[in-house]
Each structure stands twice: as C-alpha cells, then as structure tokens.
Amino acid sequence: MRIIGGQFRGLHLAPVGDGDPKAHLRPTSDRVRESIFNLLVNGGHGDPITGARVLDLFAGTGALGLEAISRGAARAAFVDDGATARALLRRNIELTRTMGVTDVWRRDATRMGPNRGEGFGLVFLDPPYGKGLGEAALASCLEGGWFAPDALVVWEEGVAPLPPAGFAMVDQRRYGDTHVTLLRVVA
C-alpha cells in the first residue's frame, strides 16, 4: 500500500497485508484509491481536494485521508474506534510527517455527536461492508453538523447504496467488489 499521487507519491505506508478481519481492517487497494482520486479530480466536481478539510470515517490505515493531504488538502481528521487501526494510522502519519495537519479521534463514526468546529468539505466513508454503518454514520454526521455546505462524500461499500435523506447522488462506480458512491450534501 502506497501513496499514489502528490507530494508523498510512491511512499509506502505501514504494511497491513490483506487486512485484519478481526479488527475490520480492509484497506482500499491502490487501484481503487487511484480511481477514486481520478474521479474526484477529473469527474467535473471542480477541485474538491486542494485546501479541503477532510473527514476520514472508519479511517483504518488512513490511506484515503493521507492521499488527500498528499494532493493538497489542508487538514484531515481520522475517525476510528479500533486500537489496531489507530496504531497503523499513527504510524502512517509519522511516515508522511503530517502530524501538524492531522487529528486522530477514537470515536464510533455512527455516533459522532455535535461538531464544535468548522464543517468538512470532503468526507471519506469506508465502513465494514454490509452492516448498514455507512447510513448510520452519514445520519450522525448530518445531525451533528460535521459537513460543510455542499460537502462531497466518497462512500465505499460492498453493494451500491442509495443516497439517504439529505444527500444527492453525484456518481457511482464499481471496481471489482467495491462500489464507490459520490454524494453531495443537500440538507
């Protein structure tokens, strides 16, 4: 697993192998991550990355948020309640030397509570597949005020999800067993 583009391009992140099913770690493959960022940059969405405040829910290794920082995002907040994931995430933050522009929060992404700061304009959502956690996390973040107006959400799931209330479908693609859905916050 490595950073695909930007200032950290080619940097190898802490190894996870095929993931850790017990810890619900299923890292996004380099190929899918590259496709996601190509879709963000070349998909007619303007430039949702440069200068963005990024929220990476179910962050795991943090590869999506760190890729965004590598490509010009201003700051990334990583949310994961797993000890294994947070250890890998901290190691990857050290490898990229992004301690000053990242936050790691031990929190259940389906129960975010109220946001006391500025909203996030780019959100990555990569929950364990097939458990309804993506819908719950989006509802929690919407209720808590975590999204900036017109925020863009990149949601990875095992089946193509429908946009929940408060969100509009922007795009949806399939990459092997991963469905990537782009949503725009409309609430």
* Per-residue confidence in pLDDT tens, the chain, 187 aa: 888 988 999 999 888 754 445 545 566 777 888 888 888 888 777 789 999 999 999 998 899 999 999 999 999 999 999 888 888 999 999 999 999 999 999 999 999 999 999 999 999 999 988 888 999 999 999 999 999 999 999 999 989 999 999 999 999 999 888 899 999 999 6
Beta bridge partners of 31: none
Q: Pairing between strand 120-125 and 53-57?
A: parallel
CA distance 89 to 173: 27
In this structure, is the dihedral angle defined by the CA atoms of residues 12, 13, 14 and 18, taken in order, positive or negative? negative
pLDDT for 168 equals 95
Burial string for 118-142 (b: 16+ CB within 10 Å, else e) reads ebbbbbbbbbbbeeebbbbbbebbb
Tokens 């597949």 sit on residue: 129
pLDDT for 71 equals 94
pLDDT for 21 equals 53
Beta bridge partners of 171: 182
Which sequence spans correspond to the domains of the chain?
21-110+118-185
CB neighbours of residue 69 within 10 Å: 24
**DSSP class per residue in 106-159:** ---TT------S--EEEEEE-PPTTSSHHHHHHHHHHHHT-EEEEEEEEEEESS
Query: Please, what CATH class does the domain formed by 21-110+118-185 belong to?
Result: alpha beta
